[in-house]
């Protein structure tokens, strides 16, 4: 879509006039605070075992490999069945995973094989959950408000990253990681309750995708046939693979380069502050522009390079803000671009393909990033992703 037709802006909070949106987002926010507490605690627990970034990279492989293998299929599943029901079951599975991780940690059995196994369970549940949970948002608002609702959804998801890592930093010392896993298990009750409280009569009817043996192939064909979507996806895959792996190396960077024991949690919190600004800035647009999308990639790339070579922790904290702004704004923009193009019966599959591109690429980029951090340079393990983002950016000219 050309930039000349997409410059309209509106109230970034307009979707909140819908009661179902408010109920759902409150539960989602509380749950994701717990999720980020667990994410932070898991990374620190893994790093404490051998002090290696490679171990964290391998954990991302197990956590996100199911998204790569199952994500596109899960999108077809979400388009054919009731997304609210699917999400209730997947969120319940995630609750059980958190309970098992807490039990393993309390009992002293939280070795790398156990953590990796539970991360694999987490990944399978998330792969099925992601397109259904995100697609459910499109059923809570009128079609014209979908880009705004999706950007607010991203704001809620990233806003929880402010509180989750900050709480983890404050509580991990006196309580330990096992209690943080327990708090995450409890937080899933909030989102499950919000799903049960949604009013069916206020939800937008969904066109169910016809039963077909080729749901994934149909979605890929749809993307490839649209030149704008084709090149937008290619760029998004490259950036996601190489420029979004800072969680793999930040524990080691904070420890080795900046001598900050709580540096990882602090940087995640500051990145999340930037993320909220990026998501809300994107939420202003009623239609997402390709120019805005390209600008966010540039910001993300420069911030990766800047943080990688930050001479001290203070500069790293400053670079965390544009890193979050560019990264989360980019994800929200990608969601808006795909949902603007997709017909209702294909929205779940578009969500799934985006998740495969964003999260499914992590099993490739995460281990590469960890290996670079342990064997080549901890600074370059972050900076190389920024360079990759800047190098692929000119390809977007073909999408306009």
Encode the chain (400 residues) as per-residue pLDDT tens digits. Answer: 334 334 445 577 788 888 998 999 999 999 989 998 998 899 889 988 888 878 888 888 888 888 778 777 777 777 778 889 999 999 999 999 999 999 999 998 989 999 999 999 999 999 889 888 888 888 888 877 777 887 788 778 777 777 788 788 788 888 989 999 999 999 999 999 999 999 988 887 766 555 555 666 777 888 888 888 889 889 999 998 898 888 788 888 888 889 887 788 888 888 888 888 887 888 777 778 888 999 999 999 999 999 999 999 999 999 999 998 998 888 888 888 887 777 776 777 777 777 777 776 777 888 888 889 888 988 899 899 999 999 999 988 887 6
| DSSP, res 108 | T
| DSSP, res 207 | -
8 part of a folded domain:
no
First vs last C-alpha separation in the chain: 7
Do residues 386 and 260 touch, judged by C-beta distance below 8 A? no
61 part of a folded domain:
yes
The owner of tokens 């898991």 is 42
138 part of a folded domain:
yes
Q: Give the count of domains, the chain.
A: 1
Torsional sign, CA 22, 23, 27, 28: negative
- How distant is the alpha carbon of residue 116 from its chain centre? 19
Do residues 161 and 268 touch, judged by C-beta distance below 8 A? yes
7 part of a folded domain:
no
Give me the pLDDT at residue 303, please.
94
Q: Which long-range contacts (CB under 8 A, 24 or more apart) does 116-119 make?
A: 116/58, 116/59, 116/62, 117/62, 119/42, 119/59, 119/62, 119/63
Cα–Cα distance for residue pair 144/343, rounded to 1 Å = 13
Query: 116 phi and psi, to 5 degrees?
Result: -60, -40
Query: 382 phi and psi, to 5 degrees?
Result: -100, -40
Express the helix, strand and coil content of the chain in percent, nearest 5 each: 85, 0, 15
Cα–Cα distance for residue pair 349/244, rounded to 1 Å = 22
Helix axes 227-243, 290-308, angle to 10 degrees: 10
Q: CATH number of the domain that 185 lies in?
A: 1.20.1250.20
206 part of a folded domain:
no
Give me the pLDDT at residue 40, please.
87
Cα angle 307, 63, 313 (rounded to 5 degrees) comes to 20
74 part of a folded domain:
yes
Which of 307, 294, 160 has its CA nearest to residue 239? 294
Residue span of the structural domain in which 167 resides: 14-200+214-399
Query: 285 phi and psi, to 5 degrees?
Result: -80, 130
1 part of a folded domain:
no
Maximum Cα interatomic distance, the chain, rounded to a whole number of Å: 60
Give me the pLDDT at residue 17, please.
85
The owner of tokens 């080795």 is 256
Q: What are the distances in angstroms from CA 10 to CA 7, 27, 150, 286?
A: 10, 25, 14, 7
Give me the pLDDT at residue 114, please.
94
Do residues 38 and 98 touch, judged by C-beta distance below 8 A? yes
Cα–Cα distance for residue pair 31/41, rounded to 1 Å = 16
Cα–Cα distance for residue pair 61/120, rounded to 1 Å = 9
209 part of a folded domain:
no
Do residues 303 and 322 touch, judged by C-beta distance below 8 A? yes
Give me the pLDDT at residue 212, please.
55
Cα–Cα distance for residue pair 321/273, rounded to 1 Å = 7
Do residues 34 and 188 touch, judged by C-beta distance below 8 A? yes
Give me the pLDDT at residue 2, please.
39
Do residues 56 and 50 touch, judged by C-beta distance below 8 A? no
pTM (2 d.p.): 0.69
For residue 395 the two structure tokens come to 């390809």
């Amino acid at each position: 879509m050309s930039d000349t037709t997409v410059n309209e802006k509106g109230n970034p909070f307009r979707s909140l006039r819908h009661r179902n949106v408010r109920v759902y987002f409150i539960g989602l926010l509380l749950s994701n605070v717990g999720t980020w507490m667990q994410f932070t605690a898991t990374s620190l627990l893994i790093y404490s075992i051998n002090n290696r970034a490679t171990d964290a990279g391998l954990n991302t492989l197990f956590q996100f490999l199911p998204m790569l293998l199952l994500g596109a299929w899960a999108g077809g599943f979400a388009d054919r069945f009731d997304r609210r029901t699917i999400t209730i079951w997947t969120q319940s599975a995630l609750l059980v995973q958190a309970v098992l991780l807490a039990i393993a940690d309390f009992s002293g059995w939280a070795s790398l094989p156990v953590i990796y196994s539970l991360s694999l369970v987490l990944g399978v549940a998330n792969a099925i959950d992601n397109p259904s949970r995100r697609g459910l948002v499109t059923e809570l608002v009128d079609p014209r408000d979908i880009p705004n609702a999706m950007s607010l959804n991203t704001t809620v998801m990233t806003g929880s990253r402010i509180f989750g890592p900050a709480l983890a930093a404050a509580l991990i010392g006196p309580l330990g990681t096992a209690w943080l896993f327990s708090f995450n298990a409890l937080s899933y009750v909030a989102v499950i309750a919000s799903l049960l409280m949604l009013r069916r009569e206020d939800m937008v009817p969904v066109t169910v995708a016809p039963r077909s043996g080729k749901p994934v192939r149909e979605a890929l064909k749809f993307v490839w046939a649209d030149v704008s979507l084709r090149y937008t996806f290619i760029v998004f895959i490259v950036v996601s693979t190489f420029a979004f792996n800072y969680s793999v190396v930040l524990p080691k960077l904070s420890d080795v380069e900046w001598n900050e024991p709580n540096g990882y949690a602090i940087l995640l919190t500051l990145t999340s502050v930037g993320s909220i600004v990026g998501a809300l800035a994107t939420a202003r647009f009623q239609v997402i522009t390709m120019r805005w999308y390209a600008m966010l990639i540039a910001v993300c790339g420069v911030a990766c390079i800047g943080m990688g070579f930050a001479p001290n922790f203070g500069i790293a904290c400053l670079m965390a803000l544009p890193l979050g702004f560019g990264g989360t704004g980019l994800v929200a923009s990608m969601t808006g671009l795909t949902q603007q193009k997709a017909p209702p019966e294909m929205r779940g599959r578009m969500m799934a393909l985006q998740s495969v591109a964003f999260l499914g690429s992590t099993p490739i980029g995460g281990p590469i990033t960890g290996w670079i951090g342990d064997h080549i340079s901890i600074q370059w393990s972050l900076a190389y992703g920024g360079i990759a983002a800047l190098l692929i950016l000119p390809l977007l000219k073909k999408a306009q």
